[in-house]
């Protein structure tokens, strides 16, 4: 790390602490040449994740899309905003932990449904009806039968 004042590349760390959101480490450094102090931040580098859509196009992963879909399916249901945000965060973390650069949107949808099934069955069916694009009542009834049989 070069000193921003004199450009010298050697420094010592005077103080280290986590940031408020615990997503980075704040370090106070002192230049060994000019003795001036400056602050640096160290954080984990995020690997950008691309989502492969059904039409084979790609776009960057966006957690807010999961949250918005969940909000719609959980409307007027006893599912809190924090539960919705926890589902989205768990899915994002799961994808990041796999260290993959690309994931199919179908896989994300399945992950959402798996989490939602445990929280609220009505919200699960609502989400599944949009996600799986039920064409008629028979496919809808088959999904309901699957849900009942798994109980």
In a domain, residue 6? The reply is no
Contacts of 105 (CB under 8 A, 6+ apart): 51, 52, 53, 54
**pLDDT band with cut points at 50, 70 and 90 for residue 57:** very high
pLDDT, tens digit, for every residue of 79-129?
A: 999 999 999 999 999 998 888 899 999 999 999 999 998 899 889 888 988
Average pLDDT over residues 4-19: 95
User: From CA 135, how far away is CA 110, in angstroms rounded?
Assistant: 18
**Residue 111 sits in the same domain as residue 78:** yes
Q: Provide the domain count of the chain.
A: 2
61 compared with 19, residue with greater pLDDT: 61
Range of the domain at 39: 11-43
Contacts of 72 (CB under 8 A, 6+ apart): 126, 130
Retrieve residue 128's tokens.
């599944």
Indicate if 35 and 76 belong to the same structural domain.
Answer: no
**5 domain residue, yes or no:** no
Q: What pLDDT does 111 receive?
A: 95
């Amino acid at each position: 790390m070069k000193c921003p004042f004199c450009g010298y590349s050697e420094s010592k760390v005077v103080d280290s602490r986590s940031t408020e959101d615990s997503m980075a480490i704040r370090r106070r450094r002192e230049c060994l040449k000019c003795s001036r102090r400056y602050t640096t931040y160290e954080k984990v580098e995020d690997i950008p994740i691309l989502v492969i859509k059904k039409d084979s196009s790609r776009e960057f992963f966006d957690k807010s899309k999961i949250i918005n879909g969940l909000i719609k399916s959980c409307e007027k249901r006893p599912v809190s905003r924090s539960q919705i945000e926890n589902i989205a965060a768990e899915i994002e973390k799961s994808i990041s932990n796999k260290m993959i650069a690309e994931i199919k949107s179908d896989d994300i949808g399945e992950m959402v449904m798996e989490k939602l099934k445990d929280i609220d069955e009505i919200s699960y069916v609502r989400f599944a009806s949009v996600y799986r694009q039920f064409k008629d009542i028979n496919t809808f009834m088959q999904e309901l039968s699957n849900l009942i049989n798994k109980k």
